[in-house]
Every structure is written in structure tokens, then in C-alpha cells.
Amino acid sequence: MANVFYHGGKWFDDNPAILGPLDHAFWMATTVFDGARAFDGLAPDLDLHCRRLVDSANKMLLAATLEADEIEELCREGIRKLPKDRVYYVRPMFYATEGMIVPVPESTDFALAVYDVPFPGFDGFSASLSPFRRPSPDTAPTDAKASCLYPNGARALKKARAEGFNNALLLDPWDNVAEFASANIWIVRDGIVQTPTPNGTFLNGITKQRVAALLTGEGYRIEEVSLSLQDVLAADEVFSTGNYGKVMPCVRLDERTYPVGPVFKRAKQLYFDYANEARVL
């Protein structure tokens, strides 16, 4: 595994031990992160991921110790330290070290991990409807990319995988389709491309926004709407967008199967064409 880490003004080749039992993040989960990808000398939308990290820190009562452009440069420096022939996950983080329930904003610290994680493949994934739901904005910090939100997705994934599926589909508290456990969802029906309208229960992903803009530029009709489970089951094709796999086709939801459709194929091609035009590291 190729990896590099940054903390406290220093670079490390091995995972540094940076938290202790008295640190606020250790027991109160005051950690935010963002994830970007680097591959083929490219890091598409890295600037947007760094900006979202700072925004997430503010929403989690932290005080970001670096500006977004400073985080971006550290990420690029870390990527340049590693072999160019691999696919990397780039994960900058802020976390609190002091406080009693409420974090002390001035205690916010920063860490960065860059490590190789291949793309999962684009042949298609299966998913199952989960009994677990995305929380409402008044019950959790759903407007931040906060680590405390992920255990619920982990429960959904574990159950789905135990039943032979790759992913899970989560509803929101009002029975609308929210997202897959690890990515945003899209459906295509009669040539119209639809994705759940951001309603505060899930993040309006950076890759999702990028793909929406690219498809719109190609003349596709894109709609952000409230989707029901029946809408997904009636779709002609289903796919996901997210940082881990970028654009991936869903080929099965419980007993319903879908083709690897033409809109997914075009969305994937458009995204990677865009990535190849992005700033080279």
C-alpha cells in the first residue's frame, strides 16, 4: 500500500497516532473529513472538496485552522510524494481535542491521509432497501460531512452485504428515497434523468453536482425531485455518483434488475473526460 500522512507540520510514511482518550474527537465524534480522488496525475474538483471540509468544520462547531487553498496545496504535495501509476483516496480532516460535550473551537486540529484505493469497477453493483434511514436535519448534523453520520450507513451496508448485496438504499424520515449508503442515486425513466432533491437529509455530493452539470451541457433533461421507492423500481436504469466510485451502474435493487444503460455510460464518459481536462498535479 502506498500512503502518506500529514499532521502537526510534518509528513509521515506510517499512520501517526494522534488521538488519546481525553481528546474530544475520541469520545464525542467531533470529526469532519472530505474525500477526493487522485489518478493519472489528476485530482478533479479537489478545490471543491477542500472548501466543503472547511464548511463542514464550521457546521460541527469547529474552527478550521487552514483555509481551503492551503488544504488543497497540502493535498497536492502529498499526492506528488507517491507513485503516479495508482488511484488514491485523498482525505483531509479537522477534529476537536478539547471540550466537555461542546467542543472548544480553538482546539481544532488538522490531519491528512493520502492512500491508494483502486476504483471499485464499473460493471455494476446490487443494492437492497435498508430498514435504516437517513436522519432529519433536526436530529443530526446532516449538512456536514461528519464522521458521526457514518455508523448508520455502516449498519445498512453490513445488513445488505450479509444478504448478498453490495450496497443499501436508504430512505429519509418521510419515505422519500435519499441515497445509497455510500453514494448519491440517479434514475432514468423515458429519457428523463432524475435524482433526489436535496432536502437536508443527505449531502448534495460534489460528484453529483458535477455530473448534473455535464449531463445538462449535453442536452439531457435533469430533474431534482422527491423520489419514491416505486419510482426507482419503475426506472429504466439506475446509477450512483460519489467520490469512491465516481459513476457506477446499479444492476439490481432487491429482486428488480436494471441494464447498464446508455445514460450511465454517457455520464461516466463525460465525467472522466472532464477529469482529464482538470488541473494536472
Distance, in Å, from the CA atom of 206 to the CA atom of 49, rounded to the nearest integer, reads 7
pLDDT-based confidence at residue 257 (cuts at 50, 70, 90): very high
Question: Please, what sign has the CA dihedral across residues 207, 135, 117, 21?
Answer: positive
Section 251-256 average pLDDT: 98
Is 278's pLDDT higher than 80? no
Tens digit of each residue's pLDDT (9 = 90 or more) over 97-127: 999 999 999 999 999 999 999 999 899 999 9
Q: Show Cβ contacts of residue 87 under 8 Å, excluding neighbours closer than 6 positions.
A: 37, 38, 39, 116, 117, 118, 119
Integer CA distances (angstroms), 58 to 105, 109, 141, 152, 208, in order: 9, 13, 11, 22, 23
Is 279's pLDDT higher than 80? no
pLDDT-based confidence at residue 192 (cuts at 50, 70, 90): very high
Q: What is the pLDDT, as a whole number, of residue 91?
A: 98
Section 163-186 average pLDDT: 98
Q: How many Cβ atoms are within 10 Å of 228's Cβ, its own excluded?
A: 13
pLDDT-based confidence at residue 7 (cuts at 50, 70, 90): very high
Q: What is the pLDDT, as a whole number, of residue 1?
A: 79
pLDDT-based confidence at residue 88 (cuts at 50, 70, 90): very high
With residue 269 as reference, give the H or E element that holds it.
helix 262-277
Q: What is the pLDDT, as a whole number, of residue 97?
A: 98
Domains of the chain: 3-116 (3.30.470.10), 125-277 (3.20.10.10)
Tens digit of each residue's pLDDT (9 = 90 or more) over 38-79: 999 899 999 999 999 999 999 999 999 999 999 999 999 999
3-state DSSP of 25-66? HHHHCCEEECCEEEECCECCCHHHHHHHHHHHHHHCCCCCCC
